[in-house]
Amino acid sequence: KAGVTQTPRYLIKTRGQQVTLSCSPISGHRSVSWYQQTPGQGLQFLFEYFSETQRNKGNFPGRFSGRQFSNSRSEMNVSTLELGDSALYLCASSLAPTANQETQYFGPGTRLLVL
Amino acid sequence: KQEVTQIPAALSVPEGENLVLNCSFTDSAIYNLQWFRQDPGKGLTSLLLIQSSQREQTSGRLNASLDKSSGRSTLYIAASQPGDSATYLCAVKDAGNMLTFGGGTRLMVKP
């Protein structure tokens, strides 16, 4: 079974631009979560989607948004990029939000550099 | 607000040593606790998941314990190998499907 895939793997943008990152979950998984990882703040939860609905959102500004499609694929968008948005963005999938006995499977991440 | 702390932040040991990584969390109302491994610049690999009703889980040379009442978990690695060198992260799942991560322990196993 194929794992979680994220595209693109690397991205360089300039301040003020916007960016869209994509995540394809493991087949059959309907819950997708996004995390931001930086050296200073560590791993922080961005948001979670299940059945095309956002269930939870972390403490990030409105410039960070996302969506989920009917095939469970998810995208996240960051508008008006700032230098501090440079990070590794990780996507995780799981069967369902209430599957507490199931682990979340993480993709390889998209490394975003904002210049 | 849940807070997760990992001690030590970094650890360097010679090959063959048994070692213990520590994780503590402030809110004991968790659904599960997971240990992950992260290699430099890569995503996370799940090592062990302990449900809130369990006390420990084992996989090969790894053993993780959970004491929910005291808000602590330990990851025990037996007979460490250079290939174990990585950052180890613990994460707790409480509200919804959100994971709260610790800062990680960066492990170096020297040949």
- pLDDT value at A43 more than 90: yes
User: If pLDDT is split at 50, 70 and 90, which confidence band does A48 have?
Assistant: very high
Return the pLDDT at A95.
86
- pLDDT value at A110 more than 80: yes
* β-strand partners of B77: B19, B62
In this complex, do A106 and B100 lie within 8 Å of one another by their Cβ atoms? Answer: no
Below-70 pLDDT ranges, chain B:
95-96
Chain B environment of A107 (Cβ under 8 Å): 43
User: If pLDDT is split at 50, 70 and 90, which confidence band does A49 have?
Assistant: very high
Q: Are A45 and B99 in contact (CB under 8 A)?
A: yes
Query: Which residue in chain A is spatially nearest to B94 when comparing CA positions?
Result: A100
- pLDDT value at A1 more than 70: no
What is the least distance, in Å, from the CA of B46 to any CA of chain A? 7
What is the least distance, in Å, from the CA of A16 to any CA of chain B? 25
The predicted-structure confidence for A69-84, as pLDDT tens digits, reads as follows 999 999 999 999 999 9
The predicted-structure confidence for A86-104, as pLDDT tens digits, reads as follows 999 999 998 876 666 678 8
Which residues in chain A belong to E strands, given as ranges?
Answer: 5-7, 10-13, 19-24, 31-38, 42-50, 53-57, 64-68, 74-78, 87-94, 105-106, 110-114
What is the least distance, in Å, from the CA of B94 to any CA of chain A? 9
In this complex, do B34 and A97 lie within 8 Å of one another by their Cβ atoms? Answer: no
How many Å is the maximal CA-CA distance in chain A?
41
With b for 16 or more beta-carbon neighbours within 10 A and e for fewer, the B9-45 pattern comes to eebebeeeeebebebbbeeeebbbbbbbbbeeeebbe
| Residue A88 contacts B, CB cutoff 8 Å | yes
Return the pLDDT at A101.
65
